[in-house]
Amino acid sequence: SFPRIFYHKMVQKEKTLERTPVESEPNPSPVSGEACAAGPGLLEESGGIIVETTGHRKFISGVVEGFYGRPWTMEQRKELFRRQQKWGLNTYLYAPKDDYKHRMFWRELYSVEEAEQLMTLIGAAKEYGIEFIYAISPGLDITFSNQKEVTALKRKLDQVTHFGCKSFALLFDDIDHNMCPADKEVFSSFAHAQVSITNEIYQYLGEPETFLFCPTEYCGTFCYPNVSQSPYLHTVGEKLLPGIDILWTGPKVVSKDITVESIEEVSKILRRAPVIWDNIHANDYDQKRLFLGPYKGRSTELIPRLKGVLTNPNCEFESNFVAIHTLATWYKSNMNGVRKDVVMSRQVPQSGAKSTVIDVSSMAPPTLCSDTTVTTVFQQPIMSPAMPPQLLEPHLMAKTPEQEEEKKDSDEEPMEMVVEKQEEPDVEASTEPKPEGPILADKMAEDLKPMDTDKESLAESKSSEESIQEDPGSDIAPMQTDDQLKQDVFAPGPNEKPLFAVEPLSIEDLCLLAELFYLPYEHGPKAMQMLKEFNWLRANSSVVSVNRKMKEDEKVAEWQLRAEKFEDMCCSVIQMFTRLSNSANRTILYDLYPYIWDIKSIISMVKSFVQWLGCRSQSSAQFPKGDQEPWAFRGGLAGEFQRLLPIDGANDLFYQPPPSLPTSKIYSIRPYFAKDEASVYKICKEMYYEGMEDAPSSEQESDLIGDKLVGGLLSLSPDYGFVLEDDEGICGYALGTVDVKPFIKKCEMSWIPFMQEKYLKPDGQKDLTEAEKMILSFHEEEEGLPESFLSNFPSLIKVDIHAKVTDPSVAKSMMGCLLSSLKANGSQGAFCKVRQTDKRMLDFYSKLGCFEVAKMEGFPKDVIIMGRSL
């Protein structure tokens, strides 16, 4: 095969590797999908101001696969090329951090099998008219002054050249600034070392038309002491050969906004227009975050001031439709280099085939002029419910012949046309109110690795909400690995509601999904509304507390109305999860599932907690302060809801990994009511005798287990009770009392006498059955736990879930709800009692974060006490 012949030649060639640079090949004609934007050639200074020279140059636009995490598959990359060609993007930069031969072991040549894959990929990029740029990151351990190291780098790039690659990038990002002693003797600075090897490689390869360099100071916050005074950047700008383009991420690693002023500043230092490596949709620094919002925060006035833009999107390939499509829309809106910002507009699908158009405010700050409107034609991405369900895909649907005919020309590219903005646009007004703009953040996550997103305060953005609804109709079905097109619609498994299989995803579901996972510094409007409402319900819960001093009907009614609306919002999230989980498009589902599972789990817990607040909370309920700046912590929207619950620090209860196979099975948690008593008793009894043979048989003893283990809590402390339900009814419970000492006194006064009357004292002289021992306990005084223990663990809890429930996450949610209610009402610790022989419950509570408390004087002998601090 070709690679084997190539390796043989490489061995012969090593001795003569220090060849003279090859002559540059003539520039090829622009490939399909390339756009040559009018804009600056070389930048010249005139009185200290950057001005353009005339001429045309290619604008690099596309995708960089540059994240930390599992690289995309070859099939996914080919699908990316197809989409890029369709949408008018022209470049793919290969730089996956976890391809060890790209970064960690950069000296190693590719094997025969790897070479064949790369050749196939480079060929596929060429077939679709996409420029393939191979990036290599030798900066972790290269010795710049060692000629053997330089030779190894040349040999590696020679190999890739023989694969058919003509464009390259040298990356020196995310590495230590310090040089080794050998390099310090040769180079006056780190920048000089990098520039020296980059220039040598560039010339060795014949000065390719596209050659990129990523500096170690690749964003404003990494520049010391700042951009304009950075010796490193000044050296790069002065010494790097002018044909080499420089990558730049903006003011920060993940930049909320990239302004014209910031680009003009760095362009002056670099002596060339930069290529933006844009991390706005990168999610490799937080496993709970996904970004489905549009490309924004970058004025279209940037386009003529840049050499290109490459987006480094989400690790999950199928989640990047909006990220890449809106980048294409942004670029095509000003590809001719007009120095005015462009206002985006979108079409909002209605129930029929036709759509109305509404204006969407500019993605740039309103201080920028907006003379033109870009009209983007979009098609409704979801089949109407009347459509056959087997055609259902989450956001990319097959089109009917009528729809195809109607849109045969307009769906080829994201941007149909650029038109002059009229004073009164001739469009129909949408009947739906515009959503309020999302509240913007002042901080980004702290200590995020490996892409350390920005730690300092951000200037509050003035940009208004802009959301571009994509044209999924313009894209045929995405790459499928499971022969989806040959299969019927997904059939629910055991215990899953078949009802959901025929419920298609709605456009509202997809809008909600995108707004829950929007952008690094913004949640979408619906997500912000949910946070705002939950904050308000917590702050005003005293008006509906069980011990409020006076009943204010008007305030109670307002709280209950807002709580009802909030619960509806929570239900819409859970319904979206269910419908998406039953989607026929499993490829997209597998990419999204961990994220929708996570948000569904926390929203379910929050919904249950709000229900409890409305009927069981005390007026003195305490909550963590809700005034932290959003985005100052990890976890995205789910993390923010976690921090608003009383047990915000109980990370183990919020860590609920999704099942290995997606399921749409939904459980709900709600406060306990008196009508639930029989169901709780039934579960208590069944689970007590799980695996045991001597279950009580007499009619009188049928309630005995429940009376002994949960009856007192249900009767005297119902305010801290929760039940778990599925579609068949109650299948679990979580009970507790905030302070066990007064609870025990109440039991002695009312519950124990009632039990003594119900169950006659057995004869203690004979051998007693298990049931008789239990009855006897009602007639004997129980020892109290020592004060030294109860001062730290005042709350008694009892949690159990039926054996048929196989989802381990619901137990954590149940415990989360129970502990939240206890902590809100003042508890600082909880404990439970487990029989020494009950291995199942010992294991159950251990997995819920309870630990066995060391034996103390006063502890019962046949019971293990397990505790958990709050």
Instruction: Choose the catalytic residue: 99, 173, 174, 278.
Output: 174
Over its C-alpha atoms, the chain yields an Rg (Å, rounded) of 32
Q: Give the whole-angstrom CA distance, residue 158 versus residue 16.
A: 13
CB 274 within 8 A of CB 40: no
**How many residues are listed for the chain in this entry?**
870
Report in angstroms the alpha-carbon separations of 424 from 333, 359, 465: 20, 11, 21
Cis bond leading into 208, ω under 30°? no
Longest dimension (CA), the chain: 108
Query: Quick one: which of 133, 135, 123, 225 has its CA closest to 173?
Result: 135
Q: Give the whole-angstrom CA distance, residue 477 versus residue 489.
A: 15
CB 471 within 8 A of CB 379: yes
Helix, strand or coil, per DSSP, at residue 866: strand
In DSSP notation, 382-403 reads S--TTS-GGG--SS--PPPHHH
CB 85 within 8 A of CB 128: yes
**CA atoms lying within 13 Å on the CB side of residue 573:** 28
In DSSP notation, 105-122 reads TTTSPPPHHHHHHHHHHH
Write out the two tokens for 122. 């480079």
Write out the two tokens for 630. 């959003």
Helix, strand or coil, per DSSP, at residue 245: strand
b (16+ CB within 10 A) / e for 613-627: bbebbbeebebeeee
Amino acid present at 836: Q
> How many other CB atoms are there within 10 angstroms of residue 23's CB atom?
8
Those residues whose C-beta lies under 8 Å from the C-beta of residue 721, and which sit 6 or more positions away, are 671, 672, 713, 714, 733, 734, 735, 736
Alpha helices (H) along 333-458: 401-406
Residue that has been written with the tokens 């055609």 in this structure:
391
b (16+ CB within 10 A) / e for 774-795: bbeebeeeeeebeeebbeebbb
Those residues whose C-beta lies under 8 Å from the C-beta of residue 243, and which sit 6 or more positions away, are 202, 207, 211
Query: Quick one: which of 567, 545, 568 has its CA closest to 556?
Result: 545
Report in angstroms the alpha-carbon separations of 690 from 376, 439, 700, 839: 62, 51, 20, 11
Strand order across the beta sheet in which 729-737 lies: 668-671, 722-726, 729-737, 795-801, 829-835, 863-869, 851-852
174 catalytically annotated: yes
CA distance from start to end of the chain: 65
Active site residues: 174
